[in-house]
Amino acid sequence: MKCWRWLGIILLAAAPPLAAEELFELKPVADGVYAAIAKPATKVNCNGAVILLDDGVMLVDTFSKPSAARALMEQIKSVTPKPVKYVVDTHFHWDHYYGNEVYLGAWPAGVEIISSEATRQNIEQRGIPRVKREILEVPKEIETLKADLAKATDATKKAVIQENLRQTEAYLAELKAMRVTLPTLTFDRSLILYRQSRTVEILYLGKGHTDGDAVVYLPKEKVIITGDALHGWTPYMGDSYPYDWIRMLEATEKLDFDYIIGGHGGVMRGKGQFQMWEQYFRDLLAETAAAYAQGATLEETRQRVAAALVPKYTGKMPATFPQDVVGNIEKAYRVVSGATN
């Protein structure tokens, strides 16, 4: 286990906080364990988990913007007066760590931000360039929304675009003000907190959604918090290791749990979602490999694999699956062709 000092990159002035009720629904899952379920927003937010400990609070993931982290921090006060002492970043994707600065800023001498060693490196080496790139890209989204608003004639549609524009402009202001804050404490395989009231296991079980996914496990409460290694939406595979991901899910599934707090969607029960995702990845890779072996181009593979998977997973995946699966097929094609891992 290695300890690291805080590192921040100052990018401009901070945006105003948003109301917690606009961002999350705080749901009790077990005694002293809450899921912060993200509500729909223009800039996607992840779920979080709030774990009450004897001496403070552990928060899993810090969302897509500092204002969301501040809002949840106020919401936490409705269930406990204890300070946040531990933050866990499950992986390096923007919507899971952009709020890190808020907790370290509120308790600069008393908060540890925990991640796997790979996640800390990824935030530093890949996350920071992505922030800078996003600052260049979001103004283009704003201009598109303004053009759409000018052309809109339907009052309902116009109101939706106006709200999306408001949220996107506010997000850009926060992005420019944000200090990218790295984890202060990393681990290789596991980090376990033993407290009188509960034990918290923070585990690395292999590459999957990224090469540094952390899973938080509460053995007594039979709750597991999976980040984006498993959730209620279609898997995003852009930074993934698909064959390893199957093995990582199988290893995680062996833990004894009843409830799953994933990075997106609602709280899940049982192991059915694990098994469905494992089969989905096997089907995706097998269908893509078969198409590639027969000389199919990427476009031909998209069509062929989508035709096989969409009927099979309709009703199991979200309604957006026919669109979502295209990116997964492209990733699988790059993997089986040897273009990437």
pLDDT attached to residue 20: 63
8-state DSSP, 317: B
Question: Packing angle between helix 272-293 and helix 242-253, nearest 10 degrees?
Answer: 160
Q: Enumerate long-range contacts of 168-172, CB under 8 Å, 24 or more apart.
A: 168/42, 168/43, 168/138, 168/141, 168/142, 169/142, 170/15, 170/16, 170/18, 170/67, 171/15, 171/42, 171/43, 171/64, 171/65, 171/138, 172/135, 172/138, 172/139, 172/142
pLDDT attached to residue 254: 98
pLDDT attached to residue 19: 60
pLDDT attached to residue 8: 34
Residues in the chain: 341
pLDDT attached to residue 23: 85
Q: Which domains does the chain have, with CATH numbers?
A: 2-119+181-269 (3.60.15.10), 278-337 (no CATH)
Q: What is the pLDDT along the chain (341 residues), one digit of tens a residue?
A: 333 333 333 333 333 444 666 788 999 999 999 999 999 888 889 999 999 999 899 999 999 999 999 999 989 999 999 999 999 999 999 999 999 999 988 887 789 999 999 999 999 999 999 999 999 999 999 999 999 999 999 999 999 999 999 999 999 999 999 999 999 999 999 999 999 999 999 999 999 999 999 999 999 999 999 999 999 999 999 999 999 999 999 999 999 999 999 999 999 999 999 999 999 999 999 999 999 999 999 999 999 999 999 999 999 999 999 999 999 999 999 999 999 87
pLDDT attached to residue 17: 43
Q: Compute CA distances 287 → 264, 291, 303, whole Å.
A: 27, 6, 11
pLDDT attached to residue 281: 98
pLDDT attached to residue 1: 38
Q: What are 250's two structure tokens?
A: 């199988």
Give the DSSP letter string of 19-81: -HHHHEEEEEEETTEEEEEEPP-SS----EEEEE-SSSEEEE---SSHHHHHHHHHHHTTT--
pTM score, whole prediction: 0.91
Alpha-helical (H) ranges within the chain are 20-23, 66-76, 94-97, 100-106, 117-122, 128-151, 155-177, 242-253, 272-293, 298-313, 321-337
3-state SS class at 178: coil
> Cα 256 to the chain's mean position, in Å?
23
Q: Express each pLDDT in 20-35 by its tens digit.
A: 667 889 999 999 999 9
Cβ atoms of 249 and 277 closer than 8 Å: yes
